[in-house]
Structure 1
Amino acid sequence: MADVTEWLHAAQRGDEVALGRLFELLYPDLRRIAHARLRGSAQELLNTTALVHESFLRLVRLERLEVADRPRFLAYVARVMRSIVVDLVRATRAARRGGGAAALPLDTGFDAEPAGAADAGEVLRVHEALAELGAHDERLVRVVELRYFAGLEMEEVALALGVGKRTAERDWERARLFLYQSLRN
C-alpha cells in the first residue's frame, strides 16, 4: 500500500503520470466498483471498462485531487462513478421521452416500459434516497459509498471516516435501514 500512498500524494500535487499509475495499481478495485455501479439496466448503457475510463478522465480534469489514502480515493471514485451512471440514466430517460420534442400521445394498449426502464428508475431512486439520507447525515452516505459501492471492510471504512469500527458498524446499520425504508415507499 505504500506505493499507492506515494502515487496518491504525487497525484495530489498535480502529477498526471502519478494519477495514471494510481489507476493502474487500483484497476482491479476500480473495475469491481464499476461493475457494482452498473447492476441492472445501466450495463446496457455503459460497460465496466468504459465507466472506469470515464472516471479516470473526470479525475484528470480536476485541478487538484484531495484525498488522503486508498479508502478515501476509492470512495471518491465510487462517487464519481455514481454521478456518471446517474447522469447517463437521466440523459437516456430524457431521450426516450423525446429529448424535448413535443409529446404525442399514443394509445397502444401496452402499459409496459421499455426493457431496462424499471432498472434505470431504480438507479435514480437509489440516488435520490442517498441524497435524502445525506440531508440527514452525510457520514451515513459516506459509509454506504465506502462499504457497499467501494467494497471496503469495516476497519477500512472506520479508518477512512476517522471513527471507531463499532461506530462505523452502527452507521452502516442505520444507513441500510434508512435506505430500505426509503426504497420500499
Structure 2
Amino acid sequence: MKLKDASKKAAIKSKTIDIVFDKGFAGIKMANLAQMVGVSPSTLYVYYKNKEDLIVSVATDLIHSISQESNNEVKETLPFKLKLKTVWLYWLNFSINKSKEMSFLQQLKQSPYYELVPAETKDAKMQLANSLLDLGKSEGLIKDVDNEVLGAVIASLLTETSKLILSKKLTLTKKDNDLMFSMLWDAIKS
C-alpha cells in the first residue's frame, strides 16, 4: 500500500476546487485530475476511492477549516453587534479572497453531495452562526425569527456585497464594509 503524501493531497484538493470553479462537479474526471496533479490515476485512488469520496472529503476538509478559522475570529468579550460584524467581515473577506472555495461551497450546498457530508461537519459549520444569532435574540437586539430566516437575509446580503466588490462597484474598505454592515444590521435588528 502506498503512503499518502500531504503535499499531493493538498494539490489534489486545490485542483479539485479549481475544476469545480471552472466546470462544476460534472467537470471532475478522475483521470484528468490525476494528470493535472502529476500523479497516476492509481495513485489518485490511494487517496480517494472514487469521485464521490473525493468531493465529500474536499468539502469536509474545507468546511472544518473555515469553521475553525471563523470561530477563532470571534472574541468572547466582544459585544454581540461586534461579534456579528467580525463574522460578517470574515465571510466577506473569504468570499472575495477565496472565491474558488466559496464557489465550491455554494455549488456543494445545491448538489446531492451535500447530503453525504457528515452531519457533525455540517453541525459544526452552523454552530457559531446559530449560537451568535441565539445570543442576539436573547439580548433583544435582533428579530426573534427562525435562524434560517436570519441566515438567509445575512447570506443574501453577503453574496450581493461580494458581487458588488468583485464588480468594483464597492471596495473592500472600512467605509464600504461599514455601510453594508449597517444595512445588514438595519435588516435584522429588533
Q: TM-score, normalised by structure 1?
A: 0.28
